[in-house]
Amino acid sequence: MHSVSILGCGWLGKPLGVALLRSGYTVLGSVTQQEKLAAIAETGIEPCLLKFDPQPAGDYSRFFQSEILIISIPPRRKTGLATVYLEQLQNVVQEAQRGTISHIVFISSTAVYPDLNRIVYEDDAAVDSYLTEAEKIVITSGIQTTVIRFGGLIGAGRHPGRFLAGKQEVPGRTSPVNMIHQEDCIKIIQAVVERNAWGEIFNACADEHPARGEFYFLASKQLGLEPPHFIEEDNSAYKIVCSEKLKKRLKYTFIYPDPLTMF
């Protein structure tokens, strides 16, 4: 039996924790608000009130006594907040080094890739991206780390039909989308832990990449919302994120290989 601490027990972290519990792991999960503790405890996850803002505050001594740390806190993309996010990660790593953490899963994003108008692989990350810098902070911590770069997240409470509904003059009609379902996210993280796939960087996106216009039109129609209106003539830059490395290394088959079946 292994112990796992999930930093960020929210949309992804909470159901991930439940799945790990069912597999026999001891799971601790952090939240930043007192009123969320009871809901986490009800699942069987041991809740910890913990903030990095960017300095640590709260009940963090017990939290970093697990074997595995999963960092699932959303990056801050707004101007000025990227620096705060990087400081948060530096402090998280410092506490992990002081504790008993021997392995880290760091949840990153395919936003690390520029639009290169081609298929992109793990080596194509932008060198000047703050996400690349964030990954580096964790990778160079001295703790064995695997980075998972998830595409656009879909699943419980995140229906893509709401993302662009009713918007006008939307660019990128023919650009391919890079999406992944919540269930695949959870299974992939579990596969990394169970297969001891450490020291890796993985892309994690569904196999198929339908056109943005088709994807968001169908998603909004399913909810009965006004579809977005896309610009007809559009030369928007794009990328197609390849997940072949993940599939081979983890022997993984996507539950939802086609984004058009995710909603």
Q: What are the tens digits of pLDDT across the range 32-80? A: 999 999 999 999 999 999 999 889 898 788 999 999 999 999 887 666 6
pLDDT over 70 (residue 1) = no
Tell me the two tokens of residue 170: 């939307």
Strand 152-154 versus strand 179-181 pairing type: parallel
Can you give the pLDDT at residue 246?
98
Can you give the pLDDT at residue 77?
67
Can you give the pLDDT at residue 60?
82
Can you give the pLDDT at residue 79?
60
The contacts found for 34-42 with CB under 8 angstroms, 24 or more apart, are 36/9, 40/9, 40/14
For residues 212 and 174, is the Cβ–Cβ distance under 8 A?
Answer: yes
Can you give the pLDDT at residue 74?
85
Dihedrals phi, psi of 21, to nearest 5 degrees: -60, -45
CA angle 142, 144, 149 (to 5 degrees): 115
Residue among 48, 51, 53 nearest 65 (CA): 48
Can you give the pLDDT at residue 46?
97
What's the whole-model pTM score? Answer: 0.97
Tell me the two tokens of residue 36: 């969320």
Instruction: Say how far apart CA 239 and CA 249 lie, in whole Å.
Output: 23
Tens digits of per-residue pLDDT, 103-158? Answer: 999 999 999 999 999 999 999 999 999 999 999 999 999 999 999 999 999 999 99
Tens digits of per-residue pLDDT, 236-256? Answer: 999 999 999 999 999 999 999
Question: Which residues share a beta bridge with 46?
Answer: 28
Can you give the pLDDT at residue 75?
82
> Which residue in the block uniquely carries the two structure tokens 């996010």?
85
Could you give the count of Cα atoms lying within 13 Å of 42 in the half-sphere of its Cβ?
5
Tens digits of per-residue pLDDT, 182-219? Answer: 999 999 999 999 999 999 999 999 999 999 999 999 99
pLDDT band at 257 (very low <50, low <70, confident <90, very high): very high
Can you give the pLDDT at residue 81?
81
CA dist list (Å): 165 to 168, 170, 210, 227: 9, 10, 18, 5
HEC-encoded secondary structure of 100-155:
CCCEEEEEEEHHHCCCCCEEECHHHCCCCCHHHHHHHHHHCCCCEEEEEEECEEEE
Q: How far apart are the first and last CA of the chain?
A: 35
Please tell me whether the peptide bond between 15 and the residue prior to it is cis, using omega within 30 degrees of 0.
no
Residue 215 C-alpha from the chain's centroid: 21
